[in-house]
Amino acid sequence: MSTASSTTTDEAPQPAAPAPTPGTWPALRPLVLRLHFYAGVIVAPFLLVAAVTGLLYAGSFQAEKWVYAHELTVPVGTTQVPLSAQVTAARKAYPDGTVSAVRPSPQAGATTRVLLAGVPGVDAGHTLAVFVDPYTGTVRGALEQYGSTGALPLRTWIDEFHRDLRLGETGRLYSEFAASWLWVIAGGGLVLWLSRPRARRTIRGTHGRRRTLGVHGTVGVWAAAGLFFLSATGLTWSTYAGANIDELRAALGQATPSVSAAASGDHAGHGTAASAGDAEHGVGLDTVLAAARAQGLGDPVEIVPPADATSGYVVRQIQRSWPEKQDAVAVDPTSGEATDVLRFDDYPLLAKLTRWGIDLHTGVLFGLANQLALMALAFGLILLILWGYRMWWQRGRGSSFGRPVPRGAWQQVPPQLLAPLVALIAVVGYFLPLFGIPLAAFLVTDIALGEIAHRRAASAK
pLDDT tens per residue across span 27-74: 788 888 888 988 888 999 999 999 999 999 999 999 999 999 999 999
For residue 369, the tally of other CB atoms under 10 A from its CB is: 10
**Burial readout 207-230 (b: 16 or more C-beta within 10 A, e: otherwise):** eeeeebbbbbbeebeebbebbeeb
pLDDT given for residue 442 in this prediction: 84
pLDDT at 11 over 70: no
Q: What is the mean pLDDT of the chain?
A: 88
Flag whether 285 is in a domain: yes
Question: Exposed (0-12), middle (13-18) or buried (19+): which is 88, by Cβ within 10 Å?
Answer: middle
pLDDT at 362 over 90: yes
Which own/partner pairs from 221-227 qualify as long-range (CB within 8 Å, at least 24 positions apart)? 221/190, 221/193, 221/194, 222/380, 223/186, 223/377, 223/380, 223/381, 223/384, 224/186, 224/187, 224/189, 224/190, 226/373, 226/377, 226/380, 227/182, 227/183, 227/186, 227/377, 227/381
pLDDT at 459 over 50: yes
Q: Are 142 and 40 in contact (CB under 8 A)?
A: no
pLDDT given for residue 276 in this prediction: 40
For residues 13-18, give the mean pLDDT. 48
The last residue of a domain, from among 346, 363, 379: 346
Flag whether 308 is in a domain: yes
pLDDT given for residue 456 in this prediction: 81
Flag whether 26 is in a domain: no
Backbone angles phi, psi at 60, to 5 degrees: -75, -20
**What digits encode the pLDDT tens for the residues 161-204?**
999 999 999 999 999 999 999 999 999 999 999 998 887 888 87
pLDDT given for residue 38 in this prediction: 86
Q: Are 119 and 97 in contact (CB under 8 A)?
A: yes
**Strand boundaries in 118-196, DSSP class E:** 127-132, 139-145
Radius of gyration of the chain (CA): 30
**What digits encode the pLDDT tens for the residues 297-339?**
999 999 999 988 889 999 999 999 999 999 999 999 999 999 9
Strand partners, 99: 116
pLDDT given for residue 411 in this prediction: 67
The last residue of a domain, from among 346, 364, 379: 346
pLDDT given for residue 379 in this prediction: 98
Q: Is 180 helix (H, G, I), strand (E, B) or coil?
A: helix
Counting residues of the chain whose pLDDT is more than 90, the rounded percentage is 69
pLDDT given for residue 139 in this prediction: 98
> Residue 328 is inside which H or E element, if any?
strand 328-331
The last residue of a domain, from among 119, 151, 183: 151
Which domain does 338 fall in, by range?
Answer: 257-346
Flag whether 194 is in a domain: no
Flag whether 2 is in a domain: no
pLDDT at 6 over 80: no
Closest CA to 439 of 447, 227, 412: 447
Give 75's pLDDT tier (boundaries 50, 70, 90): very high
Domain harbouring 110, CATH code = 3.10.450
Cα 216–chain centre separation: 24
Strand partners, 52: none
pLDDT given for residue 8 in this prediction: 42
For residues 121-134, give the mean pLDDT. 96
Q: Of the ranges 86-100, 273-287, 348-362, which one carries the lowest mean pLDDT score? A: 273-287
Q: Of the ranges 157-171, 277-291, 375-389, which one carries the lowest mean pLDDT score? A: 277-291
Give 402's pLDDT tier (boundaries 50, 70, 90): very low
Q: Of the ranges 199-208, 223-232, 367-376, 382-391, which one carries the lowest mean pLDDT score? A: 199-208
Q: Of the ranges 161-170, 219-228, 232-241, 448-457, which one carries the lowest mean pLDDT score? A: 448-457
Distance CA 4, CA 9 (A): 9
Question: Exposed (0-12), middle (13-18) or buried (19+): which is 175, by Cβ within 10 Å?
Answer: buried
For residues 214-229, give the mean pLDDT. 96
| Bridge-based pairing state of the strands 328-331 and 338-342 | antiparallel
Higher pLDDT, 26 or 225: 225
pTM of the model: 0.87
Give 221's pLDDT tier (boundaries 50, 70, 90): very high
pLDDT given for residue 138 in this prediction: 98
Flag whether 87 is in a domain: yes
> Residue 101 is inside which H or E element, if any?
strand 98-103
pLDDT given for residue 388 in this prediction: 94
Flag whether 66 is in a domain: no
Structural domains in the chain (count): 2
pLDDT given for residue 410 in this prediction: 67
Distance CA 383, CA 359 (A): 25
pLDDT given for residue 394 in this prediction: 85
Higher pLDDT, 261 or 132: 132
**What digits encode the pLDDT tens for the residues 249-275?**
999 999 999 999 987 655 454 444 444
Q: Is 90 helix (H, G, I), strand (E, B) or coil?
A: helix
Geometric angle at alpha carbon 225, from 224 and 230, rounded to 5°? 95
Q: At what angle do helices 24-67 and 153-164 cross, to 10 degrees?
A: 160
First to last CA, the chain: 51
Distance CA 7, CA 239 (A): 75
Flag whether 159 is in a domain: no
pLDDT at 341 over 60: yes
Measured CA to CA in angstroms, residue 129 lies from 64, 126, 150, 302 at distances of 14, 9, 9, 13
